[in-house]
Amino acid sequence: MNKIFLYLYPIKEFANVFFLGNEYYDENKFKRPFDVLNEVIEKRYREKGYHIIYALYPDKEIFGIIPKIEDKVIFADITFKEATSSTGLNTDKEVKYPDEQLLINQLGEVDELIIGGYHAQDCVKRVGEKALQNGINTLIDLDLTDLFFALYRYEEYFKVEEYNPERFKSFMIKKSSRYGEEFATELFNRNYQSPVYGFSDLLIKPKAR
């Protein structure tokens, strides 16, 4: 069984939006996030027989993650510069995304696909949904998306060795429950309605393989 953990775009430009600097974490007695991230990838996936693959823009290098020799890097069909030049104040300009199918083709044969990386509601979701359309058993590990930088500090929630979607759901609803449980549940269902998150009964019809 070919199991893959795919981590999208671990680059400095994305990480620095969430990373507050090691001095901050040391002063506040938090574990350094990239130390934890590397440990989690090791314990959750590499040690459990998953092949670790990183997707990069061809003009960028891996940041924050220490790959092992057996890991693999695949590349998007556009550069980071091309992707970011299509965003900004010009709302008439269409945002340019990497070709999700090209990334999936580079994975080879896949029986089970877990995806993390940047960003949970954008590129990670887009690649996950394309994988589902290809008939691949796919789930996003929301702990290991951009949400990681906040979630890993909650010791009562975050478990290094496993991701539990139902625990994630309960935790997120509880965090929003000050607005009322009904509102918190509706907000969660709206934010995570894509089937690739594992919470929705909506189906994306897989292609014939």
Answer yes or no: pTM beyond 0.85. Answer: yes
Helical segments of 66-164, H only: 80-84, 100-105, 123-133, 148-151
Tell me what the mean pLDDT of segment 199-208 comes to: 54
Which SS3 state, helix, strand or coil, does residue 112 take?
A: strand
Q: Contact at 8 Å (CB) between 45 and 5? A: yes
Q: Band the pLDDT of 178: cuts 50, 70, 90.
A: confident
Structural domains of the chain, with CATH:
3-197 (3.40.50)
Tell me what the mean pLDDT of segment 12-34 comes to: 95
Tell me what the mean pLDDT of segment 111-138 comes to: 96
Q: What is the pLDDT of residues 32-41, one digit of tens each?
A: 999 999 999 9
Q: What is the pLDDT of residues 99-108, one digit of tens each?
A: 999 999 999 9
Tell me the C-alpha distance between 174 and 24, whole Å. 27
Tell me the C-alpha distance between 85 and 23, whole Å. 32
Q: Which two tokens stand for residue 187?
A: 């907000």
